[in-house]
Structure 1
């Protein structure tokens, strides 16, 4: 990305960046795509715990079963909603 462009973060991605910022080990979502970029023939997401995105991609490459030919890997921090987290119900009861 050029230096003069800013990246826009959306809901779950912003929460993920804030949550994982202070933790050494993070959960990454590795998106595996194969085929033409405009119409991929294969898409799959693998979740990996690692310290860095590069380590997460390396781990996904080593441990994936049934890899497609010429896959492309991209890593991102997994967000709370993506991991199935839901807000806890309020413990305050109104009388």
Structure 2
């Protein structure tokens, strides 16, 4: 069953969404950049690893963009400044 989680502020430090929202682990999940400012970007990494990725490798999402994936760990970080995201599981 799909579930939308509470919005989350993402900082420039890697954050594991699964630590905040355990129900997203190994489930079809989505992450959306809720910013309206085109300079506010986030990086998303769907990973089996419980260790934060190195650098800024991953999928970059601009304002309003969304991505989906399935992984044991879902890592996110802001590129320049804090960004509000929407996330949850999909059917």
TM over 0.5: no
Q: Whose strand proportion is higher, 1 or 2? A: 2
Q: TM-score, normalised by structure 1?
A: 0.29
Q: Whose helix proportion is higher, 1 or 2? A: 1
Question: Is the radius of gyration larger for structure 1 or structure 2?
Answer: 1
